[in-house]
Structure 1
Amino acid sequence: MSDISELQSRIANALDRIGSGLDYLGQAAPESEGDTAEVLALRAQLDEERTANAQLEDRVRSIREKQDSTVETLAGEVERLTRLLATQEETVARLARVNAELRSNNAALREAISAGVAEPHLVNKSMMAELDALRAAQSADRAELDSVLGELDAMIDAAETGGA
């Protein structure tokens, strides 16, 4: 990109020099037919340089537009992946919390059973923790499926965009 900018700058400087030379030649009366031919040749070169400059400007513009669209696409992808990661982290944290509670309740239930005391509230608490663990696992599975579906949608969109 810097090469294009440098070339564009050099061409613009050359055009300025040619233009100032033409202005000088336009003010001075041509002395002979050789001078007129030289002026015509310089004008032809000036027109060629202007055309080349316009083509370079079009190329630079198209490169910038392509770069901007690529940046927008990548920013959207980063945003989508960030949301997906946040959902995954939330699900994993919930799953870890529920599993820790389940281990704690099971340990308390084992102690009560070894002591020969059957406490119904410990059984209920353990069952509720197990249900929460199952729900958290189901939620984790759902989040994983959503991420796979999101990736598939992104791949399909990319394939449709690339194929079109």
Structure 2
Amino acid sequence: MSDIEELQRRITAAMDQIAFGVDRIAAKPAAPDPDTLQQLEDERTANAQLQERVRGLRTKSEAEQAQLRAALDEAEARMAQLDIELQRVRRANAQLADACAALREANTEGVGEPHLINKAMLAELEGLRAARAADVAEASVILASLQPLIDQSSPAAEDS
């Protein structure tokens, strides 16, 4: 019987120790693991760095878009100027054709009219001016198109 009492006493003592340990665990708040805290802080730092990079990339992208829009607007303006000059050439050529037709008609009748000759010469001069302006506008468009290629190749040539 003494063995039973001894075993009962040991079981009661073990149960008391378990209850005391459970009470102590329940009363004490669980502290986070220092490794987990360090990993969390590292992740926060990495997240902040990534957010900063995203902000920088967004700013750079917006700046590049603004430059592209400006270049596009400039190209459209050059093309509009070229179109205006080509229309001027067409009008001048139409005037020249009309003046030449009037001169031919006056020649067939045997009447040389000085004002028709002057009108034809003025139309021809206007046609030449318009053709030159169209050439200048076209050259401007071509140069504007080639400039980015020249800019890209310049650093490569300097490095060689």
Q: Does the pair score TM above 0.5? A: yes
Q: Partners in 2 of 1:29 and 1:42 — Cα distance?
A: 22
2:74 maps to what in 1?
Answer: 80
Tell whether 2:105 aligns with 1:111.
yes
| Paired amino acid for 1:66 | K
Q: After the TM superposition, which residues 84-103 of structure 1 pair with which residues of structure 2 at under 5 Å, given as runs?
A: 84-103=78-97
Pairwise CA distance, 1:145 = 1.9
Unaligned runs of 5+ in 1: 1-27
Pairwise CA distance, 1:85 = 1.1
Q: Partners in 1 of 2:27 and 2:123 — Cα distance?
A: 101
Pairwise CA distance, 1:53 = 1.1
Q: Partners in 2 of 1:104 and 1:50 — Cα distance?
A: 80
Q: Partners in 2 of 1:153 and 1:144 — Cα distance?
A: 14
1:152 maps to what in 2?
Answer: 146
User: Percent identical across equivalent pairs?
Assistant: 41
For residue 117 of structure 1, give the secondary structure of its aligned residue in structure 2.
coil
CA contact (8 A) 2:75 2:144 kept: no
Pairwise CA distance, 1:159 = 4.0
2:57 maps to what in 1?
Answer: 63
User: For the structure 1 residues 161 and 82, does the alpha-carbon distance in structure 2 shift closer, same or farther, using more than 3 Å as the test?
Assistant: farther
Question: RMSD in angstroms over aligned alpha carbons?
Answer: 2.5
Pairwise CA distance, 1:47 = 0.6
User: For the structure 1 residues 59 and 48, does the alpha-carbon distance in structure 2 shift closer, same or farther, using more than 3 Å as the test?
Assistant: same
Q: Partners in 2 of 1:149 and 1:44 — Cα distance?
A: 58
1:16 maps to what in 2?
Answer: none
Q: Deviations over 1:13-68 (max 9, x none)?
A: xxxxxxxxxxxxxxx9635xxx43x4424322321220221122022112202211
Q: Partners in 2 of 1:65 and 1:150 — Cα distance?
A: 26
Q: How many residues are aligned here?
A: 133
Q: Partners in 2 of 1:100 and 1:154 — Cα distance?
A: 38
TM-score, L = length of structure 1: 0.70
User: For the structure 1 residues 154 and 29, does the alpha-carbon distance in structure 2 shift closer, same or farther, using more than 3 Å as the test?
Assistant: farther
